[in-house]
Structure 1
Amino acid sequence: MPLFKTIDISPTSKVFLWKITEDFNELFRNVTLKDTSLARLEGMKSEGHQKGFLAVRMLFQHNGYDDFDLYYDDFGKPHLHDGTHISISHSFDFAAIVLSECNIGIDLEQIKGKIIRLAPRFMDVSHLENLSETDTMRKATVVWGIKEAIYKLKNESGISFQDHIFENPFQLSEKKCSAELHFKDIVQHYNIIFEEIDLEGSQPDGHNYMLVCAVESE
């Protein structure tokens, strides 16, 4: 399938979404992989993860890059050789990348009911009070995405979602908020943008996705 959607996060940051409708072989035939990526692909036990990995490479190609333009640092963070900042995420039938002139983190999550049960493990559940069940799922998914996106952006071992990353109160309708990372005696502030990806009933299970991006405040 062609590109599903592009989202302008800012004048210098853009998200690209790919809906994975292809089978593994079709994706594999349409990308070029360096040896290290091929070995990584072959080591994945889940075909879903393999397809997500390949769909990300399809997004590279859509933007004029290929697998040889990408490298990972010692902490596993992706970088492009031309200096453009990149962050990567995939979830079930979607893959996403964000390209930016500034350091940025992205997370894409399917909105599912189990997030409510897990919420006390990673967030202040008082932020979920007085919401419908649907909005509780949506907001908890945003908070999880905030923490994933900041973790990817900061890229340091030892960061705890529950103990070090804190979202400030927000409303779902605002589609933006702020958050803080308290780590190694330093407090860093982040601007957060989030958007629900509306599939317009195309998913049999009815689950939409939540996209979250984090950028460090100036």
Structure 2
Amino acid sequence: MPLYKTITPNSKTTVKIWKITESFDELMQAVNLKPQSLSRVLGMKSELHQRGFLSVRHLLNAFGYTDDDLFYDANGKPHLKDGNHISITHSFTFSAVIISDAIIGIDIEKQRDKISVIAHKFIDYEFSYLKPHAPDYINKLTIIWCVKESLYKLFSTPGLSFKQHCLVIPMSDNTNETVAWIDYNNKKYRYNIQFLEFEGFTCAYAIA
């Protein structure tokens, strides 16, 4: 079972990351899906997305849950029937799930140069400390994107803007944590952030 990594940020929060090496058929054979999920995965046009979807169900099993324990609200945010908070992500050949008694969000992204082309769409304040010619510029952009995507999932509020409402404090060298803020409707919300990089991917998660 390619459970790639398990992280325990605190006593009530666990992150599990899956490296997707199995074929679609292998993943399907080893998981039980409710009818809505089966219809959804069979309707996906990309096998990469199908495998990501199924790997998340394997991660649920690794936590002791089943597909039937998972449901989504009107905003598309996932929930667990037992009341624990959950956030889900997958990108290419990795997926991750975080479960906690606190409100949380998680994101994985592949590190790609083209993120620099869209940086102006999701970054404002952060340009004040980023160095475009630095060798770690793409890595820093990817971390910021993952952090903001995590905040977006955590906050689950239509209209929240990565650029206007989410701020990521500069990351110190040789550290894997920072702080981020959501400034929305004249209220400020502070979140602790942790992140990691592996095999050309970045994962970040936010904990309320």
TM-score bin (small chain): over 0.9
Once the two structures are TM-superposed, the CA of residue 90 in structure 1 deviates from its matched residue by: 0.3
- Aligned twin of 1:150: 151
Whether 1:120 aligns to 2:112 is no
TM-score, L = length of structure 1: 0.90
Residues in 2 aligned to 1:159 and 1:172: alpha-carbon distance in whole angstroms: 29
Q: Any idea what the Cα deviations from partners look like across 1:10-47, whole Å, max 9, x if unmatched?
A: 22211101111111011011111111111211221111
Q: Secondary structure at the match of 2:59?
A: helix
Q: Secondary structure at the match of 2:164?
A: helix
Number of corresponding residues: 206
Structure 1 residue identity aligned to 2:203: L
Residues in 1 aligned to 2:85 and 2:5: alpha-carbon distance in whole angstroms: 20
Structure 1 residue identity aligned to 2:204: V
Q: Secondary structure at the match of 2:86?
A: strand
Residues in 1 aligned to 2:133 and 2:153: alpha-carbon distance in whole angstroms: 29
- Aligned twin of 2:57: 57
- Aligned twin of 1:211: 203
Structure 2, unaligned runs of 5 or more? none
Whether 1:16 aligns to 2:8 is no
8 Å CA contact 2:2–2:21 kept in 1: the answer is no
Change (3 A) 1:43 1:130: closer
Structure 1, unaligned runs of 5 or more? 200-207
**Root mean square deviation, CA, Å:** 1.4
- Aligned twin of 1:185: 186
Whether 1:171 aligns to 2:172 is yes
Q: Secondary structure at the match of 1:128?
A: coil
8 Å CA contact 2:165–2:182 kept in 1: the answer is yes
8 Å CA contact 2:2–2:20 kept in 1: the answer is no
Structure 2 residue identity aligned to 1:163: Q
- Aligned twin of 1:80: 80
Structure 1 segments of 4+ aligned residues over 3 angstroms from their partners: none
Structure 2 residue identity aligned to 1:127: Y
- Aligned twin of 1:205: none
Residues in 2 aligned to 1:130 and 1:48: alpha-carbon distance in whole angstroms: 32
TM-score, L = length of structure 2: 0.94
Q: Percent identity?
A: 44
8 Å CA contact 2:148–2:166 kept in 1: the answer is yes
- Aligned twin of 1:91: 91
